[in-house]
Amino acid sequence: MGLIGKGDKSKSRGPGTTVICDGTRLVGELTLESNLHLDGQIKGTIVSDHDVSIGHTGRFEGNIKAHRLLVSGYVEGVIDCASLEIVAEGRVFGELHSDDFIIEAGGQFLGESHPRREVPLAALQHEGSQASQLTGPAQPESDSEATPHPDPAAGAATRAEPEADPPQPERPDPAPRQHAEPPPDDASGTTDEPTPDPEDEPEQEADSEQEPSRHFRPQPRQTFWGRR
């Protein structure tokens, strides 16, 4: 298969063409100053200012930058070209940057398509690694994938919450005031009044005996004269 599109046979008469036959496998970066036709397998990077074609048995995985790309085999990765044409049985998966995009009946494209822009090689390789993760073959879900995992943002959010105030120590209740109670009466009925001294009683009696004498008035003597 040559780099010949419909109605564009004059472009195949440019510089020579490098052919990688079926059964050949290359890994790495390939820089060309001529056209390239791939019937084997390449995994890595292809950089060319000319045309690149992928045959029916050809398979490429990685980043490719060319003037014109014709695919009838399998391509996966990031593509930067002025024109892309996918013919019957051609399959392209990944991210495309091109101003001219053609898909014939039987061709297949799965990915993202953007207008062409000058992409540095380092950026092209970085985008290729991301595209391979997005467009890789579907894997059956395992038990670990079915199990929900905690979200790190929630942890973080949980850690961003303000800390609660530390608990304040409880203050003991004030002791109830105790009212002074009068001393209980003695069982014998006695009080704290001083007991009178028996020695003082005679003096009081003597005083009482003397007190009437102060008011005593002698009675007049009566003389009875009787006859003898």
DSSP string, 62-84: EEEEEEEEEESSEEEEEEEEEEE
The encoded tokens of residue 12 equal 């195949």
User: pLDDT by residue (tens digit) across 200-227?
Assistant: 555 555 455 555 455 556 565 655 555 5
Give the H/E segment covering residue 212.
helix 200-215
Residues 127, 129, 24, CA angle at the centre, nearest 5°?
115
User: pLDDT by residue (tens digit) across 168-210?
Assistant: 666 666 555 655 555 555 444 444 555 555 555 555 554 555 5
As a whole-number percent, the residues of the chain with pLDDT over 90 amount to 43
Give the H/E segment covering residue 30.
strand 25-32
User: Taking 70 as the threshold, does the pLDDT of residue 65 lie above it?
Assistant: yes
Could you give the CA distance from residue 64 to residue 42 in angstroms, rounded to a whole number?
11
User: Taking 70 as the threshold, does the pLDDT of residue 20 lie above it?
Assistant: yes
- pLDDT value, residue 140: 46
- pLDDT value, residue 116: 82
pLDDT (average), residues 40-48: 96
Supply the Cα-derived Rg of the chain in whole angstroms: 62
- pLDDT value, residue 150: 55
User: pLDDT by residue (tens digit) across 74-132?
Assistant: 999 999 999 999 999 999 999 999 999 999 999 999 999 999 876 555 555 555 555 45
User: pLDDT by residue (tens digit) across 147-163?
Assistant: 555 555 555 444 555 55
- Amino acid identity of residue 167, one-letter, is P
With tokens 């060309």, the residue in question is 32
User: Taking 80 as the threshold, does the pLDDT of residue 51 lie above it?
Assistant: yes
Residue partners of 65: CB distance under 8 A and separation at least 6: 46, 47, 48, 79, 80, 81, 119, 121, 124
